[in-house]
Structure 1
Amino acid sequence: MKKLICLLFSMFVLATQAVVKRHDISAESYALKSPPDFLIDMPHEGSAVLISPQWLLSAGHVIYYDGYEGKQISIQGVDNQIEKVIFHPDFKKQPEKAFTGDAKPLMNFLYGRIDLVLIKLSKPVKHLKPIARYYAHQEQGKITTTYGKGATGTGIIGEQIETKMHRPLNFFNNQIETVTKHHLTMRFEEPEKGLPLEGIHGSGDSGGPTIIEEHGKQYLIGIQSFRDYQGDLKNFKGGVYNSVSVLCRVSAFNSWIDEVIAGDG
């Protein structure tokens, strides 16, 4: 039963990192040789974002089991340790009973929780530069960049789960389509409507950063959380054109983040 529940959730929440690309653009156009300083791999699955020398921000559901505190973590080649894991007060763990049939109850659950966690490191990171967080509330229509290195695919065939083992580093661009109190969404447009390097999250992107650039400076605006879907869950296919990814809206939670860091720093 637990395997069934985890499989169902992995269809929607994005576990490690992935990039699904336009079918008419070469894969090499999306490739990167090295990650940005702020992109950090989590110990089991998923990723996190370096937001200050001693703090990471990620999706709550990438903390897959108890025992992360005290666990070793590699910060782009330099060993560190997780000192503390602090979930947002409104984070909810996945229920014991799997969602089946119509996707609405699952969507209600995913939209209803705050899928964020702060991770304190045992010592400050000195070899990487944290990314600034976006404090304004003007996300609507912003052109974004997202990074990933897991399962790949195209908008026609969707994500190909078996490619996750290769873990190539990629990026893609997209645009913020909708803004709500706690979430941002991006749609994977078909080539005639999409950006030159349009893409979308695939299976395995939880906790990763979506950023914007303004006046020559990069800002974190979203944490990758889940995929929106309407219909029968058995028909879900991730990464196809017109699919929608949902991000936790960083600007909505800056006060919480600041309070936690100030109180525990």
Structure 2
Amino acid sequence: MNRYLLFVLLAISSTASAIVIRSDVDDAKYRIPASAFPALADMPGEGHGVLIAPQWVLTAAHAAPMHDMEQTVSIGGVERKVESVINYPTYTRMPEALAKEALASGDPAKIHQFLATSDDIALVKLAAPVRDVAPVPLYRGNEEIGKTVQIIGKGATGNGADGQLPHGSHRTILRRAFNAITGAGARYLWYQFDPPPSGLPLEGVLGSGDSGGPVMIYNNGTKQLVGLGSWIRSAPGNGLQAGLYGQVVYNVRVSRYVKWIDSVILDKASEALAEHPGTLF
């Protein structure tokens, strides 16, 4: 399926985007310099990932580069060549027919059902280790519910009263917002876009173009990666419009996949050492 078409179609219920902000707060308060989070990886075109080890980026599978070694990702403002992409073994891309059906009917219920059972996570192995940016550690606990999280992205924007800008770019400037995890399941964590006055002072949600973007918490004084932007569910009565108050954002639950992440990185490191004994990776 054409990647751009997938992002356009899934804007109705998936592909989380850049930061959509409160309607009563100045956008300038959400903007941050690129240096505030250098471990953010910009995928080709749109979408994000996070550097979690010198040679590894973690992202949502549907946002991962599709052509492996033909692609690069940008980390810290530097283009880094991709060696390979490793999707979670049971990940399946959403059928194009399902997206078209939802677009025609205005009912994304079947998309939601599909996405809820999807293991939307992938590892991107870089051709060379990143030495100039520090990786972000993974959250390895299981007490995410109730935690305030920080979300970061460069995708589309808008505000909770008007929704996401319908024709806005999916790669804008870096913004940061906050929310609180309200639920967790086997695959996903989720939070809701609450309107003022109940929302946090810098309440926000991811929007189109920020799939794979980081959701982070402070744990024992350390910023840790707890989730990855994946898909959204519009508020009841809002049809297919994204970014309105009441929207729920679903994020890949990193703690659910830490054993797989560790095993892939360890296996690849063992393979590399076998091929190049004595080399540090």
Do they fold alike, i.e. is TM over 0.5? yes
* Alpha-carbon distance in 2 for matches of 1:147, 1:263: 30
Return the letter of the residue paired with 1:247.
N
Matched with 1:170 is 175
In the aligned structure 2, how far is the partner of 1:242 from the partner of 1:231?
8
Partner SS for 1:191: coil
State the Cα distance separating 1:78 from its structure 2 match. 2.6
Deviation at 1:215, TM superposition (A): 2.8
1:1-265, aligned counterparts within 5 Å? 7-14=8-15, 17-34=17-34, 35-63=36-64, 65=66, 67-97=67-97, 98-100=100-102, 101=105, 102-164=107-169, 167-229=172-234, 235-265=239-269
What is the root-mean-square deviation in Å for CA atoms of aligned residues?
A: 2.1
**How far apart, in 2, do the equivalents of 1:176 and 1:130 lie?**
23
Choose between structure 1 and 2: higher strand proportion: 1
TM-score (norm 1): 0.92
| Amino acid corresponding to residue 42 of structure 1 in structure 2 | M
Residues in 1 aligned to 2:51 and 2:153: alpha-carbon distance in whole angstroms: 15
SS at match of 2:182: strand
Q: Distance in 2 between matches of 1:179 and 1:4?
A: 29
Question: Relative to 1, partners in 2 of residues 1:4 and 1:171: Cα closer, same or farther, differing over 3 Å?
Answer: closer
- Equivalenced residue count is 262
Q: How far is the alpha carbon of 1:4 from its aligned partner?
A: 6.3
Structure 2, unaligned runs of 5 or more = 270-281
Q: Cα distance, 1:248 vs. partner?
A: 0.5
DSSP-derived class of the 1:133 partner: coil
Change (3 A) 1:80 1:11: same
Identical counterparts, % of pairs: 35
Give the gaps of 5 or more residues in structure 1: none
